[in-house]
Structure 1
């Protein structure tokens, strides 16, 4: 009974908030233009969008999980909600000033036809102008941004890097989320970019699908075009590879899907590392490549760093693949075996933010993860967080573009 009561209260609060947002958004439109047909078009479009979103939410099936339609629905939700929230905020601020102005005029005895002064057209114009920025950005992200692949090159210096590995190049990809793809030509272009880097080794740090192994089947032939690398193609699992975010009919179904997902990595030529390590030999020298299953502060903890590094010494140079960067602060960077470089993904940079390379970087992701995009150093150890190859939930990218990372190991003084 209490559960139903709380759910009812939440629904009432939700609808009150939506009503408030819609009221203020319409006030902005009404102040901006007195043309009735424009106002009616706005109302009709808003009603259709809200009805579409509400209907799609009722159709969501937890046994299926994310689909192309849920991606579209979330995109429409953000397109509708974020600009209108901005309109609401600006007009609420104006209403505070209108209220104080009305009180002052009343106390001072100044004659006025209405207690509250009229809304100023300039304020509504300003609000609509500001709201147009995220609206157009979200449209761009859903059409062009999601496939606007960037190759990001990063040199990292280590004083104890074995001599033979000075200049060793690693390509990293992460968070493919193949179930979200809808443009084979764009994916082929991304694969061409990967091959053009001529790296020594390629590492894939997890999340090959959103949930189901079948999502990757249409894309296997394209990903098989990733050419062999001299020192191999290696991968680890991400949190989405475990099928944790849907309701399964039986445990057997879930396990079968998990086994099929693990097999996918092999089908595209990657050696999947499950809490283990291997040596990469070059000339007379070697480095250790360590791969753990997903381990996250908020998500599945299947990774076993102790098992994966068993037999390795503190002095050996080690590269760790661990999908979730929260693993680094929680366990990795103070581990007694000294993991020199950790490669992660997972955050996608929240697929939304502002980046001016070398000068400025911001995303809401930074309020969730200490390390969320790019290179970080602590205690003389490094983590690089890839911004992700694909997209999930929101069907686009704004400011934080899909990434192909090329890391060059250099022997020398530590610098960031």
Structure 2
């Protein structure tokens, strides 16, 4: 908890002045054209937003009913502020066009109305139980016994102030109804310490698949106390793969399932440095090799290590527009199925959400991956090779 507090204070010292300045920019551009009462109300809402957003982040330091309510308010304010800021910038660009003078007043009222509409629609999308996305993956020389093998992937659930046991239970019920051969959880399960979230993660113990449920760590597990969470996940029956692999016997065939620690885990614990080659060491030759890695950025190392398929998350698909347009600045892929050399990579948009309860243009998903046989052939190298 102390490390979380230090991280939040450092974040606040660096970010809050910028946050306040951006709220000021919105007020400067939108409030003057509005009538007097609307200007006063708008100014009050901007001040409240600038205070609620950091309050929502700090609320996790004192868990409880009231802290969850503050988190809800702060995170919703963050999503609303984000959309308002983007639309304000777009409005300013439009007003640079000739003959736009007549749009000054109506557009000043339209921007917050649109931002609120997008945020409410995004809230509705985020609070739905994630849809099931069907993905067929063709692997060369796939044994007949593994044709049709199904893996259900969960990623980025982010159990925390706004995602509680009821929502987790609904996800688990939907997953179990799919009767998967194997369940893969690709990190960022939680947003808080075990002592606070144990009750809310308890439904994960009910996950059922023929070959069990397997998990790798994401960056948020390290923020929340990774060692305690690994022990808790194991208690729940989720088997953790930390730069390690297991061999799944399915009929007369074998499947190598490996997992790595988060791509940036070494910043928290040097012994947790992500290592796809180590995860594969000692695995049987000739068996299909699947890697669970929280971040798509692991793909280049995984391809070099000899994996056939990598399952990842982390990006949330950008979660809501326009941030999906910027994911590629930090990761090789935003969402979907891609290739790196001879390896395929599937990046989930995530099953939950982080921060603002908002999804717009990037729906959450529970992914059912079905393995299919494909002819053995050379695969063109994807531009993700630049992430090596």
Alignment correspondent of 1:77: 78
Work out the CA distance in 2 between the residues paired with 1:211 and 1:201.
Answer: 27
CA–CA distance in 2 between the matches of 1:242 and 1:10? 22
2:40 aligns to what? 43
TM-score (norm 1): 0.75
Cα displacement (A) at 1:197: 0.9
SS at match of 1:27: coil
Q: Is 1:86 the counterpart of 2:87 in the alignment?
A: yes
How far apart are the structure 1 equivalents of 2:332 and 2:234?
A: 32
Of 230, 234, 238, the residue aligned with 2:210 is 230
> After the TM superposition, which residues 109-124 of structure 1 pair with which residues of structure 2 at under 5 Å, given as runs?
119-120=101-102, 122-124=103-105
Q: Alignment partner for residue 179 of structure 2, among 198, 219, 240?
A: 198
Alignment of 1:332-351 (within 5 A): 332-335=302-305, 338-351=306-319
Alignment partners' CA distance in 2, 1:407 and 1:8: 43
Q: CA deviation at 1:15?
A: 5.4
Partners of 1:146 and 1:237 in 2: CA distance: 24
1:254 counterpart residue number: none
1:218 aligns with 2:199: yes
* Aligned positions, number: 360
* Residue pair 1:211, 1:242 contacting (<8 A) in 2 also: no
> Unpaired segments of 5 or more residues in structure 2?
1-11, 381-388
- What TM-score, normalized to structure 2? 0.80
Which residue number corresponds to residue 410 of structure 1?
Answer: 372
Deviation digits for residues 332-384 of structure 1 (CA, Å, limit 9, x no counterpart): 1233xx10011111111231148xxxxxx954323332212111112221111
- Tell me the residue number matched to 1:24: 29
**1:225-249 Cα shifts (integer Å, max 9, x gaps):** 323x1122111111111236xxxxx
- C-alpha displacement of 1:259: 2.8
Aligned with 2:350: secondary structure?
Answer: coil
Flag the 1:321–1:55 CA change in 2: closer, same or farther, 3 A: closer
The equivalent residue for 1:367 is: 329
CA distance in 2, matches of 1:315, 1:371: 28
What is the deviation of 1:70?
4.0
**Which ranges in structure 1 are unaligned for 5 or more consecutive residues?**
1-6, 31-38, 99-117, 245-256, 355-360
User: Quick check: 303-312 or 61-70, which moved more?
Assistant: 61-70
Structure (1 or 2) with the larger CA radius of gyration: 1
Instruction: State the partner residue of 1:57.
Output: 54
Question: Cα distance 1:53–1:149, how it changes in 2: closer, same or farther (>3 A)?
Answer: same
Aligned to 1:280: 248
Partners of 1:13 and 1:131 in 2: CA distance = 20
- Alpha carbons 1:157, 1:412 under 8 Å: kept: yes
Deviations 1:114-172 (A, max 9, x none): xxxx942x443346446533431112223442334110010011121122101101101
For residues 297 and 243 of structure 1, what CA distance do their matches in structure 2 show?
10
TM-align CA RMSD: 3.5
For 1:404 and 1:170, the matched residues in 2 are separated by 10
Task: Decide which moves more: 312-321 or 377-386.
Answer: 312-321
1:242-257 correspondence to structure 2 within 5 Å: 242-243=222-223, 257=225
Partner deviation per Cα, 1:93-132 (whole Å, 9 max, x = no partner): 536758xxxxxxxxxxxxxxxxxxx942x44334644653
1:149 alignment partner, one of 110, 123, 130: 130
Alignment pair present for 1:321 and 2:301: no
Structure 1 residue 194: Cα displacement:
0.6
